[in-house]
Amino acid sequence: MYIDINKIDFEYDKNNLVLCSCSTGIEQGEIVAILGKSGSGKSTLLRVLSGLEIPKNGEITIDGEILVSNRHFVEPNKRKIGMVFQDYALFPHLNIIQNIQYGLMKKSKEEKEKIALEMLKLISLNEKYTKYPHELSGGQQQRVALARALAPNPKMLLLDEPFSNLDKDLRKQIRQDLKRIMNQQNMSCIFATHDYEDAKDIANRILYLEDGKIVKIEKNV
C-alpha cells in the first residue's frame, strides 16, 4: 500500500481514546472517504495524518517512509501532505495567485509562475487570478484552497468536509471537479464527510468511523 495507517490510538484527554486502533491502507491515486457522525473522530484522524496531532500508539508510513511511530515523528511541513480545512482558510490579504503560490517559497519566480498557471487552469479560474478571497463565491474559494494545497505537489491530499458549505448543485459540480483533478494528478486523497452521497459519488472506498473505530470498509463500485 502507498499509505499505511497501522493501529493508531489517539487521545486528547488521558484515558479517553478518540481514535482506537485505526488501521487502513491507501493506494496511490485512490480516493477514500471517512464517513461518520459528528464527534466520531474524522477531523482528528486527518489531523493525525497531517502531523498536527501525535498519536499515542501506532504507525503511519507513506511511500515507505515512516511519518510517525513510537520512535519517529516527521514535522507537518516536511510530510508532503496537502490539507484543506473545512473553512478553506485562504489568506484574506493575498489574491488568488498569491494564495496558490504560498507553499512555493523555495521555488524560483519562473517556477512559481508556471505552477500557478497550471493550477489556475486545473481549477478553471484563469480570468480571476488577481481577485481576493472575499470577491469569490464559496465554491470558487473552495477551488482556490484546493489549488493551494495541490501546488507543492503533495503525496497525498486531506480534505475536511470539503463540500459542507456548498449548495446542492455546486456540491455536485465541485465533487466532479475534485475527482477529475485527483485522477489527472494520480493523487491519493482522503476526505472527511458526514454525507453518504458525497462518499458514494467519488470515493473508491468508504471507511465508516464510529467512536474512533473503523467499523466497516465499503468498496465503492
Ligand X SMILES: Nc1ncnc2c1ncn2[C@@H]1O[C@H](COP(=O)(O)OP(=O)(O)OP(=O)(O)O)[C@@H](O)[C@H]1O
Residues that bind ligand X (CB under 6 A): 12, 18, 36, 38-44, 194
Q: How far is CA 152 from the centre of its chain?
A: 13
In whole angstroms, the minimum distance from the beta carbon of 36 to ligand X comes to 5
In whole angstroms, the minimum distance from the beta carbon of 203 to ligand X comes to 16
Per-residue cell: 151: 501546488
3-state class of 171 per DSSP?
A: helix
Which of 43, 99, 101, 141: binder of Mg ion (CB under 5 A)? 43
Work out whether 50 is an interface residue with Mg ion (CB under 5 A). Answer: no
Rounded Cα distance between 64 and 4, Å, is 9
**DSSP code string of 112-140:** HHHHHHHHHHHTT-GGGTT--GGGS-HHH
Q: Which is nearer to ligand X, 40 or 61 (CB)?
A: 40
- For the chain, how far is it from start to end, CA to CA, in angstroms? 20
Rounded Cα distance between 185 and 208, Å, is 26
Name which of Mg ion, ligand X, none residue 12 binds, using a CB cut-off of 5 to 8 Å depending on partner kind: ligand X
In whole angstroms, the minimum distance from the beta carbon of 133 to ligand X comes to 22
Residues composing the chain: 221
Name which of Mg ion, ligand X, none residue 194 binds, using a CB cut-off of 5 to 8 Å depending on partner kind: ligand X
- Closest residue to Mg ion using C-beta atoms: 43
Q: Which is nearer to Mg ion, 24 or 43 (CB)?
A: 43
Sort strands 65-68 and 188-193 into parallel, antiparallel or unpaired.
unpaired
In whole angstroms, the minimum distance from the beta carbon of 140 to Mg ion comes to 23
Q: Which is nearer to ligand X, 116 or 190 (CB)?
A: 190
| Contact window for Mg ion (CB under 5 A) among 3-11, 38-46, 51-59, 95-103 | 38-46
Q: Which is nearer to ligand X, 12 or 126 (CB)?
A: 12
Rounded Cα distance between 125 and 122, Å, is 8
